[in-house]
């Protein structure tokens, strides 16, 4: 099995037709599904949150079989993730895509689990401590994209599970949990 770093690539990755958008609807649906799953798995294991359509993204080229996805195919696969709620375009021109390998609600649930597991109920933390503090090491929250984290925190704030308060800078933003 071919690997990309420590990521095991699925078998279809070595099948040249999967690097060309398939014209038959049933085949294309299967192709899109396989690409969506691979992109999400890869981004999750590599902690990648943003894919640039124009940028060199490792999955979009297979040097072994000398195949690359066309711009149209890249856009089709990322747009399919957007349609599923697993990604969002970050700009109007659809050049950068925020990948949600966990949906925002799932990130919110992970934050609550982290808070309870670490006895942080009724405590205060900075946003940066959540993403890069000692407590978050070894969890999926460690190194989390700030945009995704803030969206999950705002969802929890809306549900009354915490309060976000502003400091003098973005690095000073704090969270008071009330779980």
Q: Give 23-34 pLDDT, tens digit per residue.
A: 999 999 999 999
- What is the per-residue pLDDT for 171? 65
Determine the straight-line distance between the first and last CA of the chain, rounded to whole angstroms. Answer: 45
- Write out pLDDT tens, residues 146-175: 999 999 999 999 999 999 998 777 667 899
Q: What's 75-138 look like in SS3?
A: HHHHHHHHHCCCEEECCCCCCEEEECCCCHHHHHHHHHHHHHHCCCCCCEEEHHHHHHCHHHCC
Task: Work out the mean pLDDT of the chain and round it to a whole number.
Answer: 93
For residue 81, the model assigns a pLDDT of 97
How many C-beta atoms lie closer than 10 Å to residue 58's C-beta?
14
Q: How far apart are CA 47 and CA 116, in angstroms?
A: 24
Nearest Cα residue to 53 out of 21, 18, 78: 78
Q: Which residues pair with 51 in a beta bridge?
A: 97
- Taking the CA atoms of 40, 98, 77 and 65 in sequence, report the sign of the dihedral they define: negative
Give the pLDDT band (50/70/90) at residue 3: confident
| 48-96 tens-digit pLDDT | 999 999 999 999 999 999 999 999 999 999 999 999 999 999 999 999 9
Task: Give DSSP secondary structure letters for 152-168.
Answer: HHHHHHHTTSEEEE--S
Q: Give percent of the chain with pLDDT exceeding 90.
A: 85
Q: Quick one: average pLDDT of 36-41? A: 97
What are the φ and ψ backbone dihedral angles of 97, each rounded to 5 degrees? -125, 125
Read off the pTM. Answer: 0.87
Asked whether the predicted pLDDT for residue 104 surpasses 90, the reply is: yes
């Amino acid at each position: 099995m071919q690997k990309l770093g420590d990521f095991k690539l699925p078998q279809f990755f070595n099948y040249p037709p999967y690097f060309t958008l398939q014209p038959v609807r049933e085949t294309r649906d299967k192709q899109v599904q396989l690409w969506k799953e691979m992109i999400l798995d890869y981004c999750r294991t590599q902690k990648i949150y943003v894919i640039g359509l124009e940028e060199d993204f490792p999955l979009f080229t297979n040097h072994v079989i000398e195949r690359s996805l066309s711009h149209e195919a890249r856009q089709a696969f990322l747009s399919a993730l957007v349609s599923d709620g697993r990604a969002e375009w970050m700009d109007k021109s659809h050049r950068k895509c925020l990948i949600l390998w966990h949906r925002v609600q799932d990130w919110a649930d992970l934050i609550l689990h982290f808070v309870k597991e670490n006895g942080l109920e009724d405590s205060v933390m900075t946003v940066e401590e959540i993403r890069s503090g000692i407590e978050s090491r070894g969890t999926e929250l460690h190194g989390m994209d700030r945009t995704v984290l803030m969206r999950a925190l705002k969802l929890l704030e809306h549900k009354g599970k915490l309060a976000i308060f502003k400091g003098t800078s973005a690095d000073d933003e704090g969270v008071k949990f009330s779980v």
